[in-house]
Structure 1
Amino acid sequence: MSEPLAERMRPRTLDEYVGQKHLVGPNAVLRNMIDAGRIPSFILWGPPGVGKTTLAQIVANKLETPFYTLSAVTSGVKDVREVIDRAKSGRFFGSHSPILFIDEIHRFSKSQQDSLLGAVEKGVVTLIGATTENPSFEVIRPLLSRCQLYVLQPLSKEDLEELIQRAVQQDVELKKKTIRIKENTALIRYSGGDARKLLNILELVVEAALPGEEVLIDDETVVNRLQQNPLAYDKDGEMHYDIVSAFIKSIRGSDPDAALYWMARMIEGGEDPQFIARRLVISAAEDIGLANPNALLIANAAFDAVMKIGWPEGRIPLAEAAVYLATSAKSNSAYNGINQALELVRSSGNLSVPLHLRNAPTKLMRELGYADGYKYAHDYPEHFVPQQYLPDELTQTRLWQAQHSPAEEKLYQRMVHLWGERYQ
């Protein structure tokens, strides 16, 4: 049985490698090190199908050094130690360190990553890790500090078009067929910048044609052959967090069109409606806040509506809330205030509650002065009377800083009226 097209087209040298010019193009940093024959341990971070495994294999071939591969999905600490022992015993004096390639290194546990430290530090192996997740979150700091980090980008439209032409013209199996590419828009869109997926789709379309007939590749044919959602959206992967981040930032930036677009991406990608609703509630509190307290009510109502009416109708109240939040005035004064308060609590420790604010349920507590001197605000004009509410050490501390949006300005002016200089 023939190998899949993606495997047959796997580059063997840097000259065959497509994309990542910032790393392996002429005079690029990684290419210069590979050509010089000396490379450090490094981690390749990028989306699927952009050449992480291929680049590691090219490095090993170029340096003519043993190449060991482990998958973080199936390998444990014992497997790591066995490979390191084999690398030690098989290395000759003056030769390059064997390369240990670990795919999906972000899936390694802390203990598995710890087991690599000594070998990497002593040069027993040159580690090349590949990950689709942000290494700063998933790779332990000691290991990350011992490795260079190189970021791989999704393949560009030009890169993907080059791959298509190369496959049609050079692959031993495709050269046997008459292939005419009329359109490649759907082919490229469905690939999502993933070379492996692109070649798999191309192979699927070619193999679906009748023997001996011309293979016509156009957008309609690709869509009909695939019959699936082309959107890349791994709910456990980085794309998920990037799209959610874009959604929240679009609301914060008062762009309802972008907010609706990113929400649609999440919906089409199969995101849990409750997750989207929770993001809206958080955004209403964090980014709109006191500038429009109704925003939180709207977001919470959208959450309730989704829970009651389900999907797909739930998209409508979610969209209504997203547009309302995006078009609303913004303030993060409450968000900033609680963060500053938490930082103050952590730095100042457990300061005593002033006696007049303490609870006094027993006679002994009252005799000790608990609640003594407390002024009940509702007994005074405007339901306010000046008195100390913060600990003695923090009496002049300000945590809430009004941002003077139209709604918040009213709250600020009330504080100025009641407290005078403290809020001026």
Structure 2
Amino acid sequence: VGGDARLALNTLDVAATITRGRSGGVIDLACVEEALQRRIIRYDRAGDRHYDVLSAFIKSMRGSDPDAALYWLHTMLEAGEDPRLIARRMVIFASEDVGIADPSALATAVDSFAALEFVGLPEAAYSLTHAALTLSLAAKSNSVKEAMIAAREAVTEGSGGEVPPHLRAGATAGDRELGFGVGYVYPHGDPRSVVSQQYLPDGLEDALFYHPKRVGDEAALAERLARIDEILGKPPRR
């Protein structure tokens, strides 16, 4: 009896996944029949198996193995995992593990989430597969993550840096009398669109939070940043 009850609950769960996003969202006889035909996959959404498979999916994309990424993606989908969880993880991955090495990856991941919301399963599996393949094959860089951590630490461990006077709004005559907004140089007035002036608070003028990786699109941006740093008078980056 217990086995029959578990089978019934699993079938209902799979049927609910099939109907999610479909017009009306009603579990009808056709959905139940389709759910019964699906092989029951060992996958506990509340237990370790859930986290293990999700971890394998992320690490396969990070390791640039598209076949493994697709295997774990469809393991989750066939087992009834919430597809929005999968889509959210790919959006995070696009910035955390691909980043500026392929800036279009984030748009692809966000688009897959939008497609999921728009068409629902099972058709949205195309978009999720599309995104997983794109992220797996993209050049990889974790410089966004490292820069975020470094900047956050500078803010939380510091005493709260003051905005340099020339960067302040200077919206009123009184502000300008105090020197707020005075001396700011408009970058577009320079043919290079970059001018040498202080942007960080006193004591952090030479702080470097971002260190580009020489991979993918980020390699070209690293070269541009080196030229910008020379104009701004910043120290070399690693």
Q: Which has the higher contact order (CA 8 A, sep 6+)?
A: 2
- 8 A Cα contact 1:416 1:422, kept in partner: no
Alignment counterpart, residue 422 of structure 1, candidates 230, 235, 238: 235
Q: Residue 241 of structure 1 aligns with which residue?
A: 51
Distance, in Å, in 2 between the alignment partners of 1:313 and 1:419 is 47
Q: Residue 361 of structure 1 aligns with which residue?
A: 171
Taking a change above 3 Å as real, the CA distance of residues 275 and 353 of structure 1, as seen in their structure-2 partners, is: same
Distance, in Å, in 2 between the alignment partners of 1:376 and 1:233 is 58
Alignment counterpart, residue 131 of structure 2, candidates 321, 334, 337: 321
Q: Residue 17 of structure 2 aligns with which residue?
A: none
Alignment counterpart, residue 189 of structure 2, candidates 366, 379, 384: 379
Distance, in Å, in 2 between the alignment partners of 1:409 and 1:249 is 24
Q: Residue 213 of structure 2 aligns with which residue?
A: 403
The count of aligned residue pairs is 200
Partner secondary structure for residue 369 of structure 1 = coil
After the TM superposition, which residues 208-223 of structure 1 pair with which residues of structure 2 at under 5 Å, given as runs?
A: none
Q: Residue 346 of structure 1 aligns with which residue?
A: 156
Taking a change above 3 Å as real, the CA distance of residues 349 and 231 of structure 1, as seen in their structure-2 partners, is: farther
Shift of residue 239 of structure 1?
A: 1.9
Q: Residue 141 of structure 2 aligns with which residue?
A: 331
Distance, in Å, in 1 between the alignment partners of 2:49 and 2:63 is 21
Distance, in Å, in 2 between the alignment partners of 1:406 and 1:267 is 31
Distance, in Å, in 2 between the alignment partners of 1:232 and 1:422 is 54
Shift of residue 236 of structure 1?
A: 2.6
After the TM superposition, which residues 19-30 of structure 1 pair with which residues of structure 2 at under 5 Å, given as runs?
A: none
- 8 A Cα contact 1:330 1:405, kept in partner: yes
Distance, in Å, in 1 between the alignment partners of 2:47 and 2:216 is 40
Distance, in Å, in 2 between the alignment partners of 1:396 and 1:300 is 35
Shift of residue 311 of structure 1?
A: 0.7
RMSD: 1.8
Alignment counterpart, residue 95 of structure 2, candidates 264, 269, 285: 285
Q: Residue 13 of structure 2 aligns with which residue?
A: none
- 8 A Cα contact 1:386 1:419, kept in partner: no
Distance, in Å, in 2 between the alignment partners of 1:417 and 1:408 is 14
Distance, in Å, in 1 between the alignment partners of 2:43 and 2:217 is 38
More strand by share: 1
Taking a change above 3 Å as real, the CA distance of residues 407 and 228 of structure 1, as seen in their structure-2 partners, is: closer
Q: Residue 41 of structure 2 aligns with which residue?
A: 231
Distance, in Å, in 2 between the alignment partners of 1:405 and 1:276 is 26
- What residue ranges of structure 2 are gaps of 5+ in the alignment? 3-35
Taking a change above 3 Å as real, the CA distance of residues 362 and 262 of structure 1, as seen in their structure-2 partners, is: same
Shift of residue 324 of structure 1?
A: 1.0
Taking a change above 3 Å as real, the CA distance of residues 244 and 349 of structure 1, as seen in their structure-2 partners, is: farther
The structure number with the bigger radius of gyration is: 1
Shift of residue 398 of structure 1?
A: 0.6
Shift of residue 274 of structure 1?
A: 1.3
Q: Residue 154 of structure 1 aligns with which residue?
A: none
Shift of residue 338 of structure 1?
A: 0.7
After the TM superposition, which residues 256-267 of structure 1 pair with which residues of structure 2 at under 5 Å, given as runs?
A: 256-267=66-77
Shift of residue 296 of structure 1?
A: 0.8
- What residue ranges of structure 1 are gaps of 5+ in the alignment? 5-225
- 8 A Cα contact 2:40 2:79, kept in partner: no
Shift of residue 406 of structure 1?
A: 3.2
Deviations 1:42-80, CA, capped at 9 Å, x for gaps: xxxxxxxxxxxxxxxxxxxxxxxxxxxxxxxxxxxxxxx
Taking structure 1 as the reference length, the TM-score comes to: 0.45
Partner secondary structure for residue 394 of structure 1 = coil
